[in-house]
């Protein structure tokens, strides 16, 4: 007897890799102890939030006895938080953004689902660049739309030729993620301007805008002087969706936003739609406490130097062991090439060394595997022997 519909049953099978790694990790930790298992499977930020987050919580608790302290608020977000966020994003994006072009959401996931519900008709497509965050496919299916997977090049950069060949009248948007999960790649101004020019050409041909959606939760987390370019500067019909899960270590509080390019065609109508679906999808509005924290701590970040140090330690370990990889420019993931063609088999070999990784096929790119370095330096350093023994065993 089937208890789930066919679509959800199929999704559970496709999305099972991280869950499988989590379950495998539990078993290994029971057997060998937590300190002897090196879990790089989850992208759960482990750094403590900035001090202002704690100050905000104390301030919130001191006012908890006031009427409506945690009551309903406008679906677009508290006016004062919306105002502060617009001012912050104006500086970040290099474009003057009014509060009316910003909506607070239940994380970036809530923002993307609101956006997809507004712009997509059943059967329409959104181009996703591979490798991609696996949840994108499921979010699109929520709204009876489809992901059209387009490969990036060998360095995980935008391949304009591949995108041009994939665009049809059925494509409504292109979704990018920079810095990218899982590769750590950051798209350059030249690549984004080229993409904007391409989308302008097809928007004119089809007589309707093809949106460029930029998912940016790792925007703050860049290395070696790299910077993220604003899509608002590269293409008129662009939209930014992001969250503060990583920058403020507030992943569980679910606070994010959708920001529209001030030059976007029909932005007033789109924002009205976003505010409406933010209610009818059941989110109602971003959590009150999260918005109050954001209002107080906006502009603060976790200590990026800690992630940078971990990145360098892991890079040294992988290099010494003989792995082929590109140094991540942002985010907190490595995406090394599997030393054997079947990366699923290699991930199993890593498990024998008590190392947990996620196969690249879970992100739409076979032959690679993902490692998250939002773990302690001790965990990274103690994994060195296992990484070396795994690659030696695979190549034997």
State the pLDDT at residue 222.
Answer: 98
What would the CATH number be for the domain defined by 6-49+302-395? 3.90.1150.10
Indicate whether 341 pLDDT > 90: yes
Q: How far is CA 27 from CA 40, 259, 356, 385, 386, in A?
A: 15, 42, 12, 21, 18
Q: Average the pLDDT over 88-110 and give the result.
A: 97
CA distances from 72 to 69, 208, 235, 242 (A): 9, 36, 36, 23
Higher pLDDT, 188 or 10: 188
The whole-number pLDDT of residue 31 equals 85
- Cα 39 to chain centroid distance, Å, stands at 20
Contact yes or no for 100/259 (Cβ under 8 A) = no
Sorted by where each begins, the domain ranges of the chain are: 6-49+302-395, 52-297
- Mean pLDDT over 273-278 rounds to 96
pLDDT tens by residue, 115-131: 999 999 999 999 999 99
Composition of the chain by helix, strand, coil, percent to 5: 45, 15, 40
- pLDDT at position 128 is 98
The region of weakest confidence among 34-43, 108-117, 323-332, 386-395 is 34-43
CA angle 25, 28, 34 (to 5 degrees): 85
Residue 12, Cβ density class (10 Å: 0-12 exposed, 13-18 middle, ≥19 buried): exposed
In this prediction, residues 313-333 reach a mean pLDDT of: 98
**pLDDT for 277-295, tens place per residue?**
999 998 878 999 999 999 9
Q: What is the mean pLDDT of the chain?
A: 94
Region 73-92: mean pLDDT is 96
The fraction of the chain above a pLDDT of 90, given in percent, is 85
Q: What pLDDT is stored for residue 16 in this prediction? A: 59
- Class level of CATH domain 52-297: alpha beta
Residue 11 confidence (pLDDT): 75
pTM of the model: 0.95
Residue 153 — very low, low, confident or very high, per pLDDT cuts 50/70/90? very high
Q: Of 277, 189, 186, which Cα lies nearest the Cα of 224?
A: 186
Please report the pLDDT score of residue 382 as a whole number: 97
What pLDDT is stored for residue 21 in this prediction?
74
Q: Is-contact 140 375, C-beta < 8 A?
A: no
Instruction: Name the CA dihedral angle for 371, 373, 375, 381, rounded to a multiple of 10 degrees.
Output: 90
- Give yes or no for residue 271 having a pLDDT over 80: yes
Q: What is the pLDDT of residues 215-262, one digit of tens each?
A: 999 999 999 999 999 999 999 999 999 999 999 999 989 999 999 999
Which range is least confidently modeled, 3-7, 153-157, 183-187?
Answer: 3-7
* Cβ–Cβ < 8 Å for 181, 218: yes
Cα separation, 133 vs 187, whole angstroms: 16
pLDDT reading at 1 higher than 60:
no
- A 10 A CB-CB count for 13 gives 8
Give the pLDDT band of residue 360 (cuts 50, 70, 90): very high
| Chain segment 3-47, per-residue pLDDT in tens | 788 888 777 766 656 667 777 777 888 888 888 899 999 888 999
CB 245 within 8 A of CB 106: no
| Nearest one of 268, 160, 255 to 212, comparing CA atoms | 160
Range name among 133-137, 164-168, 326-330, 383-387 with the lowest pLDDT average: 133-137
């Amino acid at each position: 007897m089937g208890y789930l519909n066919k679509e959800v049953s199929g999704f559970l099978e496709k999305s099972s890799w991280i869950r499988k790694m989590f379950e495998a990790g539990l078993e290994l930790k029971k057997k060998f102890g937590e300190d002897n298992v090196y879990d790089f499977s989850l992208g759960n930020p482990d750094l403590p939030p900035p001090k202002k987050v704690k100050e905000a919580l104390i301030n919130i608790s001191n006012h908890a006895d006031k009427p409506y302290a945690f009551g309903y608020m406008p679906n677009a977000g508290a006016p004062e938080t919306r105002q502060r966020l617009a001012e912050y994003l104006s500086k970040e994006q290099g474009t003057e953004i009014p509060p009316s072009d910003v909506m607070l959401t239940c994380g970036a996931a809530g923002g993307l689902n609101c956006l997809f519900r507004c712009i997509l008709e059943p059967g329409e497509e959104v181009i996703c660049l591979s490798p991609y965050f696996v949840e994108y496919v499921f979010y699109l299916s929520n709204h009876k739309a489809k992901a059209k997977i387009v490969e990036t090049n060998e360095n995980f950069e935008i391949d304009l030729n591949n995108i041009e060949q994939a665009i049809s009248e059925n494509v409504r948007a292109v979704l990018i993620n920079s810095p990218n999960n899982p590769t750590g790649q950051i798209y350059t101004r030249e690549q984004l301007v080229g993409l904007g020019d391409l989308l302008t050409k097809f928007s004119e041909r089809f007589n309707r805008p093809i949106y460029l959606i930029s998912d940016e939760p790792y925007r703050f987390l860049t290395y070696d002087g790299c910077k993220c370019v604003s899509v608002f500067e590269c293409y008129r019909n662009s939209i930014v969706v992001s969250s503060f899960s990583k920058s403020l270590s507030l992943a569980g509080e679910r606070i994010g936003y959708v920001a529209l390019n001030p030059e976007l065609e029909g932005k007033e109508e789109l924002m009205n739609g976003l505010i409406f679906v933010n209610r009818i999808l059941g989110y109602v509005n971003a959590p009150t406490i999260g918005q109050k924290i954001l209002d107080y701590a906006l502009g603060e970040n976790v200590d990026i130097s800690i992630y940078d140090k971990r990145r360098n330690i892991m890079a040294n370990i992988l290099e010494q062991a003989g792995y082929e990889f590109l140094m991540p420019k942002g985010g907190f993931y490595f995406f090394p090439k599997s030393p054997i063609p079947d990366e699923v088999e290699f991930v199993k070999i890593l498990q024998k060394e008590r190392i947990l990784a996620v196969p690249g096929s879970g992100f739409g790119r076979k032959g690679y595997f993902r490692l998250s370095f939002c773990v302690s330096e001790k965990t990274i350093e103690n994994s060195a022997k296992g990484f070396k023994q795994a690659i030696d065993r695979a190549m034997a």
